[in-house]
Structure 1
Amino acid sequence: MIGSYPSEVVRTVAALVTPFIMLFGLYVITHGHYGPGGGFAGGVLLAVGPVLLRLTYAPAATHRVFPSTAVLVVALAAFGVFVLIGLVPVAAGGAFLDYAAVPVSEMAASKLRSYGSLIMEIAVGLAVFGTILSIFDAITGDQP
């Protein structure tokens, strides 16, 4: 991208709505194991915020807030957490992502499934966020 968008109105509106878009993305991620939504949809919404800022502001300004290398590290770390959370039940003798197989004292299987799903949704959401933002940076060439 060459520089910031020439309209002050567009830049102001983008700066105002980005936190709300990202907050809604967090809501979709954390409530995805109770209803519609989840990690993928929430991760896409999380990525829309920085993408909107990168489309309206100069690359140097947006990369200070969401650096490309940090975003890629978040994506890889979240993928690693997803794999680990899936393999913990396998190590306990269960199936992949079968959280009820994990032996935790005085915790019902339903609670284990709920907490395991929440951790998995967060990991997927962060992995999708980092992946989409990294792909956007690669396509636009915004790698300062």
Structure 2
Amino acid sequence: MRLDVVLRVTTKFILAPLLLFALYVQFHGDYGPGGGFQAGVIAAAAIILYGLINGLGPAQKIVPVGLLEVLIPGGVLIYVAVGIAGMLLGDNFLDYNHLAHDRIHGQEWGVFLVEVGVFLTVFSTMIAIFYAFAGRRRS
């Protein structure tokens, strides 16, 4: 597909709006449908589309394998850290009330940080799965 000019140009035009839409879904998840999982899938789909059109090498220049190896456990660590922070402050696991100066802001920050952790984990895991399958040789 590297010689198909229409697909390559279309991918270049659609890549930025897809990533921007992923950010919108991530930050709008508190107020409507969406959140970390959906945003992670959309952002990963944009990178996977780029990889399908331009090849595995250029996609790995955008999101290197080493970065994925840090992001996958990093997202889980953020999720768990928010839960443990609630426990250390006297609440239950993933109870966000004491994460800020008042309960409302604590809830907002807790949900936001958990969704960031989910986003990072889903985004990086989907890309890692794509790299694993795309990197196999045909026999």
Aligned to 1:116: 110
SS at match of 1:78: helix
Picking from 121, 133, 137, the partner of 1:139 is 133
For structure 1, which segment, 33-42 or 67-76, has the greater mean C-alpha deviation from structure 2 after superposition? 67-76
Count of matched residue pairs: 136
- Percent identical residues: 30
CA-based RMSD of the aligned residues comes to 1.4
1:59-109 CA distance string (max 9 Å, x none): 22221111122123112211111110111001112111111044x4xx220
Runs of 5+ consecutive residues of structure 1 not aligned to the other structure: none
- The question of 1:36 aligning with 2:33 is answered yes
SS at match of 1:79: helix
Measured in 1, the distance between the counterparts of 2:79 and 2:48 equals 24
Aligned to 2:82: 85
Runs of 5+ consecutive residues of structure 2 not aligned to the other structure: none
Deviation at 1:117, TM superposition (A): 0.7
SS at match of 1:27: helix
Runs (4+) off by over 3 Å: none
Measured in 2, the distance between the counterparts of 1:117 and 1:133 equals 24
Q: TM-score, normalised by structure 1?
A: 0.87
1:41-65 CA distance string (max 9 Å, x none): 0110110111000000022222111
Q: TM-score, normalised by structure 2?
A: 0.90
